[in-house]
């Protein structure tokens, strides 16, 4: 395993639409291991492949419910709406209030090519949406809005 460099700010790889993974091979497995290691070392809860310069549809998430890898993910259901502060490893030192669905069902393949479905809520659901946005070149700052007055700023999350 090796740490990958996290791309930041205006690096073009953060703003591209990623291509689906076609080969479920040893290289993919190594990339996913590296992404988990890079995410953990940076103290993040999620990381998308374009954040390490790979324009493929792969995300890793650990939102406190175990390690989840999603290859070629696809959202099946999104409902509700909840606002929260978010941050992103690609934009160090910044944060922003974003509204997202609070119940998300997502499916995606693991490194072996096996399809999994995750029924997510709360922080996990937020992380899924934040990371999947990265695969379409969308960064959370473009979704940033003003928080409602008196909103507790304690609920900051790092993705």
Chain residues binding Ni ion by CB under 5 A are 88, 159
> Can you say whether the dihedral through the CA atoms of 65, 5, 49, 112 is positive or negative?
negative
CA 23 to chain centre: 21
Residues with a catalytic annotation lie at 131
Secondary structure (3-state) at 78: strand
Whose tokens are 């959370």? That residue is: 140
Closest CB to Ni ion: residue number: 88
Nearer to Ni ion, 6 or 21 (CB): 6
Closest CB 134 distance from Ni ion, rounded Å = 6
Residue 136 — left, alpha, or beta (φ > 0 → left; ψ -120 to 50 → alpha)?
alpha
Closest CB 49 distance from Ni ion, rounded Å = 12
Supply the DSSP symbol for 91. S
Closest CB 60 distance from Ni ion, rounded Å = 12
Nearer to Ni ion, 69 or 159 (CB): 159
Cα gap 76→114, rounded to integer Å: 17
Nearer to Ni ion, 24 or 95 (CB): 95
């Amino acid at each position: 395993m090796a740490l990958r460099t996290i791309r930041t700010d205006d690096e073009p790889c953060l703003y591209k639409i990623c291509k689906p993974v076609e080969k479920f091979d040893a290289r993919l497995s190594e990339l996913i291991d590296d992404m988990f290691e890079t995410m953990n070392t940076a103290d993040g809860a999620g990381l998308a492949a374009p954040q390490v310069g790979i324009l493929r549809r792969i995300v890793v998430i650990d939102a406190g419910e175990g390690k989840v890898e999603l290859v070629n993910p696809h959202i099946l259901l999104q409902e509700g709406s909840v606002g929260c502060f978010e941050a992103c490893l690609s934009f160090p030192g910044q944060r922003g209030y974003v509204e997202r669905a609070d119940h998300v069902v997502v499916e995606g393949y693991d490194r072996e090519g096996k399809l999994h479905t995750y029924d997510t809520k709360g922080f996990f659901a937020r992380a899924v949406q934040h990371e999947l946005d990265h695969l379409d070149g969308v960064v959370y700052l473009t979704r940033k809005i003003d928080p409602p007055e008196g909103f507790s700023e304690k609920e900051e999350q790092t993705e």
